[in-house]
Amino acid sequence: MNEIELRNLVKESGVRLVKEGLVRGTWGNVSVRFDETSMIVTPSGLDYLSLKPEDMVLVDINTLEYTSENKPTTEKKIHAAIYRERPEINAVIHTHSPWCSSMAAAHTEIPAVTDEFVKLIGGEVRVAPYGLPSTSKLTNATVSAIRDRKACLMAGHGVLVCGESLEEAFEVCKMLEESAKNFISDRVSTILGKEEVGLKEIKEAFERASEI
């Protein structure tokens, strides 16, 4: 794809994040590798639904320099670090999907319970220790947690996934969110002694646990 096509692809991916409930407002970010030395990323603090392809930012993955009037996502360091370390990766997505974010907040790994999960993601999904946004601590922790995987949780920040294409990265997002939902539901149903539980019961279980 040429630069215009990739810019449009990133823009459409931002809209898809919102429509599929993986982010709210301006949270989260998306990038694709443009060439060996640069990436195209979503801008910081702008509504995905109003973005245009020209609003995407071309960023050097080695120097993090850019010439656009728009500022790139504040987590550009993480995106760039993954592209530098893993030449097979061509897309990175950071989301705040609710089930994964819950597990990230609880510092709990998502286990690899199916062959399909292992094939797509690589194994259990680790949790990167908390770091302040845009810091080297957060970047290093995240890159370490996602090493030899297609996803990791970010304590206090949500989830980061990557793929050889944006479509693969989205498949990882969806599988991860479903797996996190099943994990939490199974744990809560065991606690409550019920075969099936709903969101209301899960919320009540979390509230009770926080009081202990």
Which residue is it, tokens 């199974």? 186
E strand or H helix at 34, and its extent? strand 29-35
> Annotated catalytic residue: which of 5, 69, 75, 207?
75
* Dihedral angle over CA of 86, 153, 47, 15, nearest 10: 70
Helix/strand/coil for 163: strand
d(CA 43, CA 180): 28
Residues 161 and 168: their CA atoms lie apart, in Å, by: 10
The Cα 126–Cα 111 span in angstroms is 9
Beta-sheet strand order (sheet of 38-41) = 57-60, 38-41, 29-35, 91-95, 158-163, 151-154, 127-128
> Distance of alpha carbon 54 from its chain centroid, rounded?
23
Rounded CA-CA distance 123/179 in Å is: 12
**Is 75 annotated in the active site?**
yes
Catalytic residue positions? 75
